[in-house]
Amino acid sequence: MKNINQILILTLSIAFLFNCENKNKKGNSNTNDIIEQQVDSVLALMTLKEKVGQMNQFNGSWDLTGPASNVSNQEKLERLKNGEVGSMLNVLSVKATREAQKLVMDNSRLKIPLIIGYDVIHGYKTIFPVPLGESASWDLDIIKKSAEIAANEASAAGVNWTFSPMIDISRDARWGRIMESSGEDPFLTAKIGVAKVQGYQGGDLSKNNTIAACAKHFAGYGFAEAGRDYNTVNIGEYELHNTVLPPFKAVAEAGVATFMNSFNEIDGIPATGHKEIQRNVLKGDWNWDGFIVSDWGSIGEMITHGYAKDKKHAAEIAANAGSDMDMESYAYVGYLEELVNEGKVNITLIDNAVKRILRVKFRLGLFDDPYKYCNEEREKNEIYTEENQAFSREVAKKSIVLLKNENNILPLSKNIKNIAVIGPLADDKDTPIGNWRAKGGRDTAISLLEGIKNAVLPSAKVTYAKGCDIVINKEIGRTFLLPLKFANTDKSGFPAAVNTAKNADVVILAIGEVALQTGEGRSQTNIGFAGVQQDLLEVILKVNKNVVITLMNGRPMDISWASENVPSILECWQLGSQSGNAIADVLFGDYNPSGKLPVSFPHNVGQEPLYYNQKMTGRPFNPTHVTFSAYRDAPKTALYPFGYGLSYTTFEYKNLTLDKNEILADGEIKVSVDVINTGDRDGEEVVQLYIRDLVGSLTRPIKELKGFEKIMLKAGETKTINFTINGELLQFYTINKIWEVEPGDFELWVGGDSTTKLKSNFAVKE
């Protein structure tokens, strides 16, 4: 009699041949049918232990992106050999991937390949701007392409799966992970999420240069109370559906291969154990067929939450709620078999989870070739190429936002004689690499100082002074898991900085946040300039008024004082490998800035969480009476609003026209507007469309982004931009707990930021 291995190989080979033949003849749905058959044929051969094994993910010993477990390498090794591991994360390099995969292939009974995941968040080794910065480009084509490049590099180094995109709506500048997000708006976040999924996964996951994407964190993680990471989330069901879930639905529809759930609880239920959102909404209503991985240790953390009494209980809750794969809790390998045997977890749920995992592995082509990502030649030739660097510069310059430019101090002439480049981040080659930098090396970015020197004529005098530092333990701080020490108050560098500033034609001042001030576990209550940066700014302004701040940061900062006192501010985020060159492109006018804020900048931290798409409240505002919703010591609106960003040219909007002012719920309105470049430079503008649903079965936001287009206009040129309003844009999750369009009156605005006043209206009739 044949042994199980031979049976498996036979089944798989038949399925494979069948697959190849049909792939050539017919389209995708057939491929899916074949994959389903293959999945079933493998599942039929699996023991319960092997099934549970597929639901288990271990960390490799190459990197650590969460608290270390006490499971020994020996135990991991044994489990790999026994087919008790379905996935590993943080296995880096072709060599390591090959070794891990080989252990499984050579030793396990069923030889089911591992899927190998890694946090490739804004590039693998060629680093792009941090996601919040890249989102400021509002340019879906470059965002998609940067994900494509990240996938190409990661796959060349053995990685099959990235834990990206993070599409958590992020309204709180204090939350360190805002830097990984696309900001505060569901519509923009959804578009960017889809572009990234398309970039990572390409049209075809079975290619060797595409990788599986992962939508995270499901759900509500960005709503942590007081912006403190991992903190409690209290969000109502309707707000969850209308604000948090839409980007997830969009990427599910776009075919994202996997989801990751989140650390937080939602109204008392930890997301990892949340049956309603995982099983009923995602896998049920949305009919999504990929698998959900837990976040690092989040199954076990349900014990700490006070939701599970022990690890076994946690495993039971998570499996029943629809968490398919356990990242680093060791709860599933420890207890799932027992739980099934005791009838506490139904075997059909286990089968369902395993099928989802196998499906993704088949889609990736791992069964055809478990070593498909193990190509040393690709690893040598396709990572950190000149071409990728050039593209990183493109993305970086398009992500810069011009916040202020009094008297057109920018762009600078390249004939400028004397430039002072000052500040703790001016010659910092590390900060622009940002947090979650994958294999982005320390100190590998082009610093601002280098970028400026590359750009100016040889006759220009470029002088540099650091002025001060931001943190005390910068070296230690670069190690992912260690806290930074705040703040460095040493002013001994001030005199040199003042001297440097004194005789310069212009001072370029690089201040803000070091790389690891944002990211996981990096929440802050102070979002101003840490340490003595503000003092440095003040002493410099005393000797030279021509100051341009190049702000580097991963969160919206409180820059109110600077905004009032400095003539020009460029928001430069943490722009990645080519940061300095990209900033210089903008400073000297080789590129006309076109970025727009994906998140509101507050007047001060007390306004957080701050977002443009708020609700009206019953008492919105009355300047002459106190019993209205306002702060008595600060405005309630943003210092720089969502969607805002200047250019070296100016744009005017006129002739806002709607082809009709009434439609039925399934109707359409064509909206058009003329955009004119009224300045004397060519430039790009992001034309934005907002609506307001005036009365609803639930209260509606005062404005909601529902369309945007990034256009290029030559100096003096006019373009007519068209949008279509339809039911898909007008619907929301109503009191009936379904998505529907409610008849009634709507307002509509078009313009260059969320405060635009160019307005019209229309109605949806019964």
Residues that bind ligand NOJ (CB under 6 A): 65-66, 89, 119, 163, 216, 295-296, 520
N- to C-terminal Cα separation, the chain: 70
Residue found by looking up tokens 């055809």 in the block: 368
CA distances from 82 to 74, 331, 360 (A): 12, 17, 21
Q: How far is the CB of 163 from ligand NOJ (least distance, A)?
A: 3
Q: Which is nearer to ligand NOJ, 89 or 315 (CB)?
A: 89
645 close to 402: Cβ distance less than 8 angstroms: yes
Q: How far is the CB of 89 from ligand NOJ (least distance, A)?
A: 6
Burial pattern 601-611, b for ≥16 Cβ within 10 A else e, equals: bbbbbebbbbb
Question: Cα Rg for the chain, rounded, in angstroms?
Answer: 27
- For residue 145, give the amino acid letter: K
Q: Which is nearer to ligand NOJ, 119 or 148 (CB)?
A: 119
672 three-state secondary structure: strand
- Known catalytic residues are 295
Q: How far is the CB of 366 from ligand NOJ (least distance, A)?
A: 20
Q: How far is the CB of 611 from ligand NOJ (least distance, A)?
A: 22
Q: Which is nearer to ligand NOJ, 163 or 611 (CB)?
A: 163
Q: How far is the CB of 63 from ligand NOJ (least distance, A)?
A: 8
Six-digit token string for 626: 């106190």
Residue found by looking up tokens 């002072």 in the block: 420
642 three-state secondary structure: coil
Residue 552: phi, psi to the nearest 5? -120, 125
Positive or negative torsion for Cα 394, 395, 396, 399? positive
φ/ψ region of 203 (left if φ > 0, alpha if ψ in -120 to 50, else beta) reads alpha
CA 344 to chain centroid:
37
Q: What is the DSSP string of 421-450?
A: EESTTTT-SSGGG-SS-TTPPTT-SPPHHH
Strands (E), 67-219: 87-89, 115-118, 161-162, 214-218
Q: Which is nearer to ligand NOJ, 128 or 529 (CB)?
A: 128
Q: Which is nearer to ligand NOJ, 223 or 588 (CB)?
A: 223
Q: How far is the CB of 212 from ligand NOJ (least distance, A)?
A: 13
Q: Which is nearer to ligand NOJ, 163 or 335 (CB)?
A: 163
Q: How far is the CB of 137 from ligand NOJ (least distance, A)?
A: 23
Q: How far is the CB of 150 from ligand NOJ (least distance, A)?
A: 14
Q: Which is nearer to ligand NOJ, 89 or 729 (CB)?
A: 89
Paired with 759 in beta bridges are 749
DSSP 351: H
Q: Which is nearer to ligand NOJ, 230 or 690 (CB)?
A: 230
> How far is 443 from 577, CA to CA, in rounded Å?
9
Q: How far is the CB of 433 from ligand NOJ (least distance, A)?
A: 17
Q: Which is nearer to ligand NOJ, 15 or 360 (CB)?
A: 360
Burial (0-12, 13-18, 19+ Cβ within 10 Å), 21? exposed
φ/ψ region of 531 (left if φ > 0, alpha if ψ in -120 to 50, else beta) reads left
CA distances from 90 to 111, 216, 519 (A): 21, 17, 18
With a CB cutoff of 8 Å and minimum separation 6, the contacts of 27 are none
